[in-house]
Amino acid sequence: MQKAPARDRVAQSKVPAPTEEQRQRREVYQRYASKLGDRSPQECDLIVACQLLDKLIKARGGHTLTQDELDRVGRVLLESPTSRELKQSQGEDASIAYVTEVMGKAQPTVERVQRDRLAEQAERSQKKDQGMEL
């Protein structure tokens, strides 16, 4: 069995083991991303963000999310492979900037989908009410 070069052993020793919370957030990310197939890592991050935001908005009955809820989604995205790679190669600020960018793209998309859903529901309800009046 061949030993890893000294440089690799040092690099590996500098990376702390993930905390239990990080491990759980990583598992949440993987659960969503594993269903996305052969998409690029960045596309996966955006879709996972949209799915998590959508799930939280549904749980709130369509109401706007709190900053704490947005932060929770952001913390899950910090555990994505792209974000972790950026953190390792360019530092934590680069990772946070990337997640902020992804969230900035995901949030308006999810809000638009929610508005469309509400409009469809209102239209169906209106048609149903009209049908009852006849």
Check residue 10 and give its pLDDT.
47
Check residue 126 and give its pLDDT.
80
Check residue 3 and give its pLDDT.
53
Residue pLDDT, tens place only, 43-81: 999 999 999 999 998 888 877 888 999 999 999 999 999
Provide the number of structural domains found in the chain.
1
Mean pLDDT of the chain: 85
Check residue 27 and give its pLDDT.
95
Q: Report yes or no on 2 lying in a domain.
A: no
Give the span between the Cα atoms of 105 and 55, in whole angstroms.
17
Give the span between the Cα atoms of 64 and 118, in whole angstroms.
13
Residue pLDDT, tens place only, 21-39: 999 999 999 999 999 988 9
Give the span between the Cα atoms of 68 and 13, in whole angstroms.
33
Which structural domain range is residue 103 located in?
19-133
Q: Report yes or no on 1 lying in a domain.
A: no
**Cα first-last separation, the chain:** 82
Q: Report yes or no on 79 lying in a domain.
A: yes
On whether the pTM is more than 0.85, the answer is no
Q: Report yes or no on 5 lying in a domain.
A: no
Residue pLDDT, tens place only, 90-119: 999 999 999 999 999 998 888 887 778 778
Q: Report yes or no on 104 lying in a domain.
A: yes
Model confidence band, residue 131 (pLDDT cutoffs 50, 70, 90): low
Check residue 57 and give its pLDDT.
87
Check residue 112 and give its pLDDT.
82
- Report in angstroms the alpha-carbon separations of 82 from 63, 67, 70, 116: 30, 23, 19, 31
Check residue 96 and give its pLDDT.
96
Give the span between the Cα atoms of 134 and 33, in whole angstroms.
48
Q: Report yes or no on 13 lying in a domain.
A: no
Give the chain as a DSSP string.
Answer: -PPPPHHHHHHHHHSPPPPHHHHHHHHHHHHHHTTS-S--HHHHHHHHHHHHHHHHHHHTTTPPPPHHHHHHHHHHHTTSHHHHHHHHHH-HHHHHHHHHHHHHHHHHHHHHHHHHHHHHHHHHHHHHHHHHH-
